[in-house]
A and B are shown apart, each in its own frame.
Chain A
Amino acid sequence: MTTTTAPAAERTARQLAENGVLSAAGTTALARLEAEAIHIIREVVAEFDRPAMLFSGGKDSVVMLHLAAKAFWPGKVPFPVVHIDTGHNFPEVIDFRDRTVERLGLRLVVGSVQELIDSGELQERADGTRNPLQTVPLLRTIADNRFDAVFGGARRDEDRARAKERILSLRDEFGQWDPRSQRPELWNLYNGRHKPGQHVRAFPISNWTELDVWRYIAYENIELPPLYYAHEREVFHRDGMIRAVGPFSQPTPEESTETMQVRYRTVGDMSCTGAVRSGAVNNELVLREVAEATVTERGATRADDRLSEAAMEDRKKDGYF
């Protein structure tokens, strides 16, 4: 990772510009978002004693880590990364996570859902979804490591509850978010004061949309786990979603499987993340697809957000990211 634009990225950007996907004005807007995110990352690192960054290997956290690397170049990223492992991850994503951590010379802290299920501290849900179970190991990892600031890659365009989130969000000693008593957030002056036991969640890419993230990935030529691009996979249909056949996601006898060309718009737990039918094998094609999409990424591919009308809000109040 360098501060200069690699020739390959320049070429991609030019091709994208010629194709009308990434206009000069669009690049200006992207530069503004990038500068804002880097400013936020530096503020948090400068003002807190023990920051850490959530890193799942998903596109938003990959972009966030890329921004952090830029923010402190030529120094290395000055904090550890945290992965809350549901135990039901896509193997490609875990592989990508480990390679990235090694490449950047980072310390990886893993909080495990499986360990807490094994020890009886967490109960498997009837529907098999493990995403909501991440809150407990997340809060425990934060407490055990005495992290006082945790970066998350959440974006406000993802969900109505996330649209309400401040860039710096104070969490009480139980990790809870109270949307009714959030601090005013004025100009770019971020107030991170907190009492012992409390911590702050920081969301540097709050103001990015899914399309911005993909524009940035294309422009910066950022590597992602391969499942973000179209590939052949054995799948089955459930609840209107396309689910991969895998160790944690098996069809019932009534559900038939087929091989289909798909890609993933979000990468979460295998037990609740759906694929979309796609022929987008590279960044440019993904960008086109995202720009033309008529369904949001979460609507298309996340079962856990369909649990109730305010599923995300309820999880966030509990301490989810």
Chain B
Amino acid sequence: MTITAEAPEKSMRSSGTLFRLATAGSVDDGKSTLVGRLLHDAQAILTDQLAAVARTSAERGFGESFDEEGQPLDLALLTDGLRSEREQGITIDVAYRYFATDKRSFVLADCPGHVQYTRNTVTGTSTADAVVLLVDVRNGVVEQTRRHLAVATLLRVEHIIVAVNKIDALSYSEDAFRAVETEIRQVSRDLRAQNAGAERAQAEPIVVPVSALRGDNVVKVSENTPWYTGEALLPVLEQLPDADAEHRLEEPMRLPVQTVIRPQGGLAPEVDAEAFTDFRGYAGQVAAGRLSPGDTVRIQPGGHATEVTAVRRTGLQQDLVPGEAASAGESVVVELAGQYDVARGSVLTAEAAPAQELDELTVRLAWLNEKPLVPGDRVLFKHGTATVKALVTEVDSRLDLTTLSADNAEQLQLNDIGTATIKLAAALPVDDYVASKRTGASLLIDPADGNTLAAGLISLPEAAEGQDAGSDEDWLSS
């Protein structure tokens, strides 16, 4: 394989939409090499970066690819940036990479695969539009593959792409690829069956045979796999719909209030002091749905309803006029009619579809800390802009990654996925994670040292799903 040491001329690219990718895979599956290959072949590597890699590769005699002069080039060095990563030849922490093609800008969270770094996989996956999961075709589906599939399914990543790597090592065998593909599909089906609502939210995985080392099916479809009728990895990534952004627009409006802006602290220069004497604006990022001046919103917890009198975009556009809407993802400042107690931790919600206010929750957890979770643990529960004290009353179940069954459990250990019941010190307006990623997500934090213990996905009682949007009185009195 020859790689030119000179970066190809970069075209005047439009950045397209912003698409977030996470990678996952076991140690030695060739993940760093695949990412390096993707960046290199997508022409995202600049001359000095490539020269640095070539220099290090030459000094160490590393690398199975070769540059024009026949010198070895270790593409993994493009991403493994820490000293200890280079020493051990493994990826330790999530690295974020940026590359753009003519169609799209990518933010790639390059996550380590080693079992002790599962927390990093959860980190990268929580914000991802798509996950690229690597499987070594020679090893097939191993426990880490199941764990990564489980995390991606649990976190409701919209697209899962499985790159079956090192296909060149088995002489591009179709049989070997099909065996892995069949098992992936089966595991994925079983996992989705476990996660209520996931069938609706998630498509079947896309499975692609690749050789990261030789570049087969990474950017272009390879002649070495004539039996593969799909597309190469990069074109797949370029064409995936930005489904999360679309879903978020359709969800009921949610705006967690981050802070209240009032003129007491002093006005910005050139602001008309007269006009802003009584200004009281609620700042936040629209988590779901759309918000327009004239809308009626509920202030939760509590449930007062009032009218939105103004929405100021902080974004690139002008302030909103009536009839125009700010959408999920936008950072705004909202003004409301009347004087209400609205502060950080309050959530403005669509009047017709408010959040449920609960002080006891069932939460699916990805446990990320060495300290195990046992009933009776006191934790902090962070949800949106609110953080409240909480008590773990019960550990309900733990997912067995071999059988994929949810078994009874007394505790959750590092890297476990399970379900617990949590009692909150105060009722919070929450949504089911399946219905709304942003307002269904939470963190469990250790009050003693401040460390993040778990990713928490709120699971509401079944009955709530069919809740009639018009039955406001019911939830108010409940």
Contact = CB atoms under 8 A, between A and B. Distances in A.
Interface of A: 1-5, 20-23, 25-35, 38-39, 42-43, 45-46, 69-78, 103-105, 156-157, 159-161, 163-164, 170, 179-180, 182-189, 191, 193-195, 206-207, 209, 211-212, 215, 219-220, 288, 291-296, 299-300, 309-310, 313
A31 B258 contact: no
B304 interface: no
A28 B17 contact: yes
A39 B330 CA distance: 9
7 cross-chain pairs, A with B, having the tightest CB-CB distances, nearest first: A160-B81, A193-B450, A299-B48, A23-B14, A29-B18, A38-B331, A26-B15
A22 B16 CA distance: 10
11 contacts: A26-B105, A38-B314, A74-B267, A74-B271, A75-B265, A163-B79, A163-B95, A179-B92, A187-B126, A191-B443, A288-B12
Contacts of A211: 15
A45 B283 CA distance: 12
Given A43-B385, A186-B122, A207-B107, 8 more contacts: A1-B269, A29-B17, A38-B331, A74-B263, A74-B271, A180-B93, A184-B455, A294-B6
B96 interface: yes
A215 B442 CA distance: 34
A216 to B, nearest CB: 9
B258 A43 contact: yes
Nearest to A26: B15
B317 to A, nearest CB: 7
Task: Kindly name the residue among A27, A35, A75, A300 whose own CB sees the greatest number of chain B CB atoms within 10 A.
Answer: A75
A35 B285 contact: yes
Nearest to A34: B315
B382 interface: yes
A1 B92 contact: no
Interface string B266-294: 11111100001001010111000000000
Nearest to A69: B268
B192 interface: no
A73 B12 CA distance: 35
B114 to A, nearest CB: 12
B313 interface: yes
A46 B344 CA distance: 8
A180 B86 CA distance: 14
A70 B314 CA distance: 6
A164 B111 CA distance: 10
Given A184-B119, A211-B15, A76 B316 contact: no
A25 B15 contact: yes
A26 B16 contact: yes
B98 interface: yes
Interface in B66-121: 79-84, 86, 92-98, 105, 107, 119-120
A180 B92 CA distance: 7
Interface residues of B, number: 87
Interface in B287-339: 312-319, 329-331, 333
A26 B441 CA distance: 29
Contacts of B314: 3, 34-35, 38, 70-71, 73
Nearest to B110: A163
A163 B126 contact: no
Nearest to B272: A74
Contacts of A20: 12, 14
A295 B52 CA distance: 12
B445 interface: yes
Nearest to B19: A29
Most B-side CB within 10 Å, residue of A5, A39, A72, A160: A160
Given A35-B329, A211-B15, A191 B267 contact: no
B467 interface: no
A290 to B, nearest CB: 10
A296 B221 CA distance: 30
A194 B450 contact: yes
Given A2-B270, A292-B12, A156 B47 contact: no
A31 B316 contact: yes
B435 to A, nearest CB: 15
B46 interface: yes
B13 interface: yes
Contacts of A187: 126-127, 437-438, 441
Nearest to B122: A184
B265 A76 contact: yes
A34 B18 CA distance: 12
A45 to B, nearest CB: 7
Given A32-B329, A39-B331, A188 B127 contact: yes
Contacts of B451: 183, 193
A2 B331 CA distance: 15
B232 to A, nearest CB: 22
A182 B119 CA distance: 10
Interface in B31-73: 46-49, 52, 56
B46 A293 contact: yes
A193 B445 contact: yes
A20 B279 CA distance: 40
Nearest to A43: B258
A104 B81 CA distance: 38
B320 to A, nearest CB: 11
B81 A164 contact: yes
Nearest to A21: B12
Contacts of B122: 184, 186
B120 A184 contact: yes
B10 A291 contact: yes
B341 interface: no
Nearest to B97: A163
A201 to B, nearest CB: 15
A186 B452 contact: yes
In this complex, the member of A72, A78, A293 whose beta carbon has the largest number of chain B beta carbons within 10 angstroms is: A72
B123 interface: yes
